[in-house]
Amino acid sequence: MKKIGILTSGGDCQGLNASIRGVAKTLFNYYGDDVSIVGITDGYRGLIYGEYKELKKEDLSGILTMGGTILGTSRQPFKLMRVVDENSVDKVEAMKGNYRKLGLDCLVVLGGNGTQKTANLLSQEGLNVVSLPKTIDNDLWGTDMTFGFQSAVDIATNVIDCIHTTATSHGRVFIVEVMGHKVGWLTLYAGIAGGADVILIPEIPYDINSVIETVKNRTKQGKNFSILAVAEGAVSKEIAQLPKKKKKQAMADLAYPSISYKIAAEIQEATGQETRVTVPGHFQRGGSPDAFDRLICTRFGVAAAQLIINKDYGKMVALKGDEIVAVPLSEIAGKLKQVPIDCSVVNAAKALGISFGD
């Protein structure tokens, strides 16, 4: 009897349930009654404290289109994994102990950067681990696309689409603040798809004077509105030049709810044009996965199950071009996939006349 554990860790997003379904259905179809699927609840916390439930075939019915995760999730920072907690629990030893207590043959992990680092840690500690790349930020090294990303792009694009009509009607400047603290893939894709006039991402520090000039030029051209897609981690050139600690402090001392509100105030003061901010926030992580994510999650899930069948552990399934491949966790853990400032997508946006504030 094969016994496989599955957990979802970190922030939730679209496609988690579709991925769980892909893994479990493939294993059930291959092993029949000779496999047991253990759903570990609330991410690594469930593995630490031994909280789980068995997943039956009927539990997989109807979850392909369902957002969130039927297993629950939690954030367990990687930097604290080897720190004994307030309950005197050695988290790494507890996870290894519960893995063995449950008699698992493999642990399947669905998650983003921190999750993959812990998955690699457990792999190095001797556990059989296979992982799937989840994050709306699309910032995981080793894969062209993460699941959840395209669904979030669709939502953020829809927000920008809707903002266009009210911006045009009232002749306003609108800033749509898109999720992304460290990377700008989501803002970049949604900004282009939504027809934004300015896109500000963490990888390209902005000059506020350049942003203001773009808005003024549009007014001179008879365009009475402007749309800015701004990543929540966007940073000015002045702050970007500061040492890491001072940069962090400067962002913490920001006298606004977020960078978008600061930019809005600066634009309105310089142009006299009413400037508003819209923050879709967690809407971008919610709801049903789109067709692309349902497909890629299913393919990822099947590929993860095949790694388990072949006893090919210590790998993350990934998308390279149109092919699903497996990459060693040791090669991708801890690496952030940022937007190259000269990549084809950025260059295409600039060719259209979209400003990056640089």
Q: Which residues are catalytic?
A: 137
Report yes or no: 79 and 91 within 8 Å, Cβ to Cβ: no
Distance CA 162, CA 178 (A): 14
Instruction: Specify the residue for token string 């009413």.
Output: 274
Contacts of 5 by beta carbon, 8 Å cutoff, 6+ apart: 38, 39, 40, 47, 52, 99, 102, 104, 106, 107, 108
Instruction: Reduce the secondary structure of 20-43 to three states and give it as a string.
Output: HHHHHHHHHHHHHHHEEEEEECCC
- DSSP element (H, E) containing 281: none
Distance CA 266, CA 215 (A): 12
Distance of CA 300 to the CA centre of its chain: 16
